[in-house]
Structure 1
Amino acid sequence: MSVFSRVSGLRVALVAAAAVAIPGLAHAEWRKAETKHFIVHSNGFERDLRDDAIELERLDQLMRTTFALPDVEGGRKLPVYVVRNRRELEAAEPELPERISGFYSANFRDVRAVAVRASGDETLRHEYGHHFMYRNFPGAYPAWFREGFAEFFSTATVTPSGRATLGKSPLSNVQVLNNLRWLPMDQVLAGRFSFEDRRETSAFYAQSWLLMHWILTEPERRRRMEGYLRDTAGGASRDTALQTHFGMDAEQLGQTLRAYLTAGPRYAELDVGSAEPALAVTTLPDSADEVLLLDVNARNGGPADQGPDMLARARKAAADHPGDVLAQSMLAHVELRWGDPAAAERAVQPLLDADPANTELLLLMADARITAGDRLTDPEERERLYRQARGFLARAYAADPGDNRIYQNIAYSRRFAPDYPTENDVELWRRAVAIAPEVASNRAVTAEAMLRHGLVDEAEQVILPVANDPHGGEVPERLRRILDRIAGARASTASAPAT
């Protein structure tokens, strides 16, 4: 399903309009605010945390109203982390380009959004725009589309009375478009720009926003862009698709957008209701200031070369906070990424004894057994550990059947079995994709399992959203092999004699 059909293990980031940093205090109190769709963490003022959580809930409501999407019960809540400055952002993700002020990431380990508060509320809304699009409209979208979509919704507002605005122009983008040199539109459509060049980056984001605004605010343009995206995802050149669906080339598109900007892009006002989102705020342990962002880093699969430093910091922090759930869980994630799975188990087991139905702890124990099994060459011993992991995952399922990680880890632990994939394995992968469609890394393995059972049409539906996405995180050769197998299965069926 495309974005337009409703209006009609991925990472994305937001570039700050200006380099802003607020020096952090030596210690800050972390809290989390939990709502229907979000778990928002912040080490700032509680009032700001409440405002962030409520604003995200209202944005979700506005976006569902805009795209006529029903609210789905039982889905996993999106973890969001609001940090004070660039230094804290780098603690969560060390390899971000210099001017990034937030990022959204979805992989098999976890899904999360992180934003610097100093960059403003638009950063939070931008990052949630990415999550909303990937969860509800998974597809192989070009870079300008992904960033333009998130930028379009970054300025959306909903008041407590339910009055909403949609499509307001971000001042920073308008200033860039009016004062900086534009990139050639063929370069924007191709996603060619350098993060190292501040002017190029700013122009790319601003022009992507303007192009998306031009598209989303007029039904006929939405229809034409749907055809353009379908053709380019299918292998057509951008020039050909642009001529076919818009009757213009890239240079003419740029001229059209300049005229659109001069005329003044308009915004819409609507009413989405005034119900106050339910919210619960919890103060996190003192250890959070030391360990929470290290945990985000480890969950995100941080760089291999930072392993020794991360292990040293994690082990010291865990020793300083014995019995602390946050500290010991963080240590387990770090050990699983860079250290010893047995050490991860030793950190988690006492916590699990005290809280035997804790889904996160059960997932950690299963991950530890799977990781240890992955390092073995003896098939019987490896299967013994995988079987133990599935025991923990069965308990996690009983506690929370709405977590995609349960299904994907059970299926992953079965991959060396002589009868893999069984129909049950296919169903596990199917459910993992259905629950978290934004986790692109699950799609290739799901399609491969389906093809083993002759489910050609379903395999194609699963793989197509990422098949031509250069930013989808999958190896292009693997995706091409899957598409070739689908084409071969179709050809074989077509040439088979009738009976």
Structure 2
Amino acid sequence: MRTSVKILAAISALAFTTPAMAEWWRAQSDHFVVYSEGKEQEALELATRMERVDMAMRAMQNMTKDEDPVPVTIFRFGDTDDIGRLAGSRGVAGFYIPSSNGAVAFIPARKPRARGLGTRSDGDQQLDPNIILAHEYGHHFMLQNFPANYPAWYVEAYAEVYGTVDIQPKGVFRLGLPATHRANQFLYDERFPAKKLFFPPSKLEPGDSRHFYSVGWLLAHYLTFTDKRPGQLTEYLKLVNDGKTSMQAAEAAFGDLEKLSEEVRKYQNTALGAIEFIPNNYQEPIISVRQLTPAEEAVIPYVIKSSRGVTKSTAPGVADRIRSAAAQYSDDKFVLDALIEAEFDAKNFAASDAAADRALAVDPKNSKALLYKGMIRMERGKTDSSEYVAARPYFVKAFESDDHNARSLILNYLSYYKAGEAIPESALLGLEQGYKLSPYDPYSRIVLARQFLNEKKGDLARYILGPLVQDPDEEKSEDRNKKDEDDFIGRCVNYIDAGDLTNASAELTRMLDKAEEDNG
């Protein structure tokens, strides 16, 4: 079961359309698993492009290749309308969800069908799915590889820079190309001074975070791709991570911020340059591609819905569909894994447990089946605390079967926390390891931050929560009172700064309790 970027969000998972006799392909590379509707070549090209995007990010940071990465799963299917329905927001052409169960992304395989005369083209109204995917992977890459806390404007600017990366043959790529998909936005943002990017959240107006994508990108471009202010961006980021506020760091690193704002405004009207980079010792990505089996094709639409997240109303229908497929493909691992999750999401815990037993009969080391066996007992622990004890061996075995299984480590820790027992050192170390395996997951950050607060380690808790403070990718409520009511992390950080770690921990507990209630 996955949670969305908005931990407290209600999730919509509506049906999507698939042309009759559509083929499905699975492409796997070092960093990605792609499930693609359409042609074999399209699956291959998507996995290859994303590996090249990853290579570009590593090359710019002088990073070596991952030894044992945790792949991001990408579902490519339907049209942009289908993606919008799945996201629960019309006009969304792609989106990404981080989770300690594994990060997932969703993009369309084709544009929507024309609706007749007068239909507006999606043209510049919707972003290119490849730009969205590269942008979101920029967030994933930053959180996965750089433990430092970055200001919200720079987080978006960094992702925007890589969103427009131009992939060329033989390893060559160009970086810093203009964000033409923001052209209309730049017209409206012309009067937004760059210095406001450094304001604290309390001094920003509703909707100001949209400037992080345009003016923030322009500022990052100016500081990165020109020689006007060498070393100043690095110094600014260092000062922020040393504990300075964004404004304090900006004044120290950049000097007169009015002057900086004027320089950036003028820079917008110049020919923005890009750099061409030729990596040393380039090797083509290794991609394996195969067509999905009939069993996999039977459940892939419902696996997509489960991966997005289901609601109380949609979960039973998804479970019904996968259950029907499982009756035909009773020994297929992919189908059984889908059934375990779907029955759990529908709160059919006995059926989920039985499906896990079937999966373990096929493969005794099935990590997902072991994980869900433990999760079912965690659910039962709400009324019988002895079930928390029964859950722990399954979490241990799940991690032994798959040492990328961050959720098993986090839940093993929670089995002690929820039971009100003393938490052993092994479980505490496991919690930290779970966070290190999935630093892009908000849930793992919040659970670890609360533990640090309970240990009176306020500085560590604040550091862990840093990327979640004023996240511009979060949908902000127009109702300011509602926004304030849901700002658990903002209040938590304020308590930490005031030295009140007890109330800071209580805020995170309220947030986690509400997330559990909302997400079922």
2:354 corresponds to which residue? 346
Mapped partners of 1:484, 1:287: distance in 2: 56
The yes-or-no answer on 1:365 pairing with 2:373 is yes
Whole-Å separation in 1 of the counterparts to 2:34 and 2:4: 21
Does 2:2 align with 1:11? no
Letter of the 1:476 counterpart: G
| Distance (Å, rounded) in 2 between the aligned partners of 1:468 and 1:127 | 17
- How does 1:53-202 map onto structure 2 within 5 Å? 53-90=47-84, 92-93=86-87, 95=88, 97-118=89-110, 119-138=128-147, 140-174=149-183, 176-177=185-186, 182=190, 184-185=192-193, 194=207
TM-score by length of 2: 0.75
Q: Conserved in 2, the CA contact under 8 Å of 1:11 and 1:103?
A: no
The answer to which of 100-109 and 468-477 deviates more is 468-477
Distance 1:341 1:460 in 2: 37
Give the Å deviation of 1:258. Answer: 2.9
Larger mean Cα displacement after TM superposition, 421-430 or 461-470:
461-470
Contact kept, 8 Å, 2:79 with 2:109, in 1: the verdict is yes
Question: Within 5 Å, which residues of 2 pair with 1:224-239?
Answer: 224-226=235-237, 229-230=240-241, 236=245, 238=247
Alignment of 1:296-315 (within 5 A): 296-302=304-310, 304=311, 307-315=312-320
In the alignment, the residues of structure 1 paired with residue 100 and residue 404 of structure 2 have an alpha-carbon distance, to the nearest angstrom, of: 15
Match of 2:324 among 303, 306, 319: 319
Which residue in the other structure is 1:36 paired with? 30
Distance 1:107 1:485, change over 3 A: farther
Query: Which residue in the other structure is 2:338 paired with?
Result: 330
Structure 1 residue 160: deviation in Å? 3.9
Instruction: Report the alpha carbon displacement of residue 456 of structure 1 after superposing the two structures with TM.
Output: 6.6
Residue number in structure 2 paired with 1:255: 262
Aligned twin of 2:224? 216
Q: 1:206: which partner in 2?
A: 214
RMSD: 3.5
Q: 1:126 to 1:459 in 2, by over 3 A?
A: closer
List alignment gaps of at least 5 residues for structure 2: 7-15, 111-127, 475-486, 503-520
Output the CA distance in 1 between the equivalents of 2:424 and 2:497: 22
Please give the per-residue CA displacement for 1:422-467, whole angstroms capped at 9, x wherever unaligned: 2222201111112221123223432443455576765565455546
- Per-residue displacement from partner, 1:31-56 (whole Å, max 9, x unpaired)? 22111111122112211111111121
Match runs of 1:451-462 below 5 Å? 461-462=463-464
Are the structure 2 counterparts of residues 268 and 182 from structure 1 closer, same or farther at C-alpha, using a change threshold of 3 Å? same
d(CA) in 2 for partners of 1:457, 1:187: 26
Deviation at 1:153, TM superposition (A): 0.4
8 Å Cα contact 1:299/1:333 also seen in 2: no
Counterpart of 2:278 in structure 1 is 271
What is the DSSP-based 3-state SS (H/G/I as helix, E as strand, rest coil) of the residue aligned with 1:32?
strand
Counterpart contact for 2:165–2:174, Cα < 8 Å: yes
Contact 2:190/2:265, CA 8 A, preserved across alignment: no
Pair 1:73–1:482, CA change in 2 (3 A): farther
Q: 2:239, 2:254 → 1: CA distance? A: 8
Judge conservation of contact 2:223–2:233 (CA < 8 Å) in 1. yes
Deviations 1:127-184 (A, max 9, x none): 211111121224554543332211100122343412221112233334653x556362
- Counterpart of 1:223, as a letter, is T
- Helix, strand or coil for the counterpart of 1:318? helix
Q: Which amino acid aligns with 1:111?
A: A
Superposed displacement of residue 334, structure 1:
3.2
Residue aligning to 2:512: none
Identity rate of aligned residues, in percent? 23
Contact 2:322-2:338 within 8 A present in 1 as well = no
CA shift for structure 1 position 408: 0.9
Structure 2 Cα separation of the partners of residues 23 and 255 of structure 1: 50
Segments of structure 1 that go 5 or more residues without pairing to the other structure are 1-8, 13-21, 489-499
Please, which of 37, 42, 45 is the counterpart of residue 48 of structure 1?
42
Are 1:291 and 1:314, in contact at CA under 8 Å, matched by a contact in 2?
Answer: no
CA distance in structure 2 between the partners assigned to 1:193 and 1:24 by the alignment: 39
Q: CA separation in 1, counterparts of 2:360 and 2:249?
A: 56
Q: Which of 55-64 and 142-151 deviates more? A: 142-151
CA distance 1:331–1:286, change in 2 (3 Å): same
Secondary structure in 1 matching 2:33: strand
Classify the secondary structure of the residue corresponding to 1:414.
helix
Distance 1:315 1:183, change over 3 A: farther
Letter paired with 2:214: A
User: How many correspondences in the alignment?
Assistant: 450
Q: CA deviation at 1:350?
A: 1.1
Q: Which amino acid aligns with 1:354?
A: V
Q: Name the CA distance, whole Å, in 1 between partners of 2:17 and 2:256.
A: 49
Separation of aligned partners in 2, 1:420 and 1:174: 56
* 1:76-110: CA deviation from partner (whole Å, max 9, x where unpaired): 211122233124324643x3x32321222223444
Cα pair distance change 1:62/1:68, threshold 3 Å = same
SS at match of 2:314: helix
| Secondary structure of 1:33 counterpart | strand
Q: Which amino acid aligns with 2:93?
A: S
2:417 and 2:181 mapped to 1: Cα distance? 49
In 1: Cα distance, 2:57 partner to 2:365 partner? 34
Distance 1:100 1:412 in 2: 35
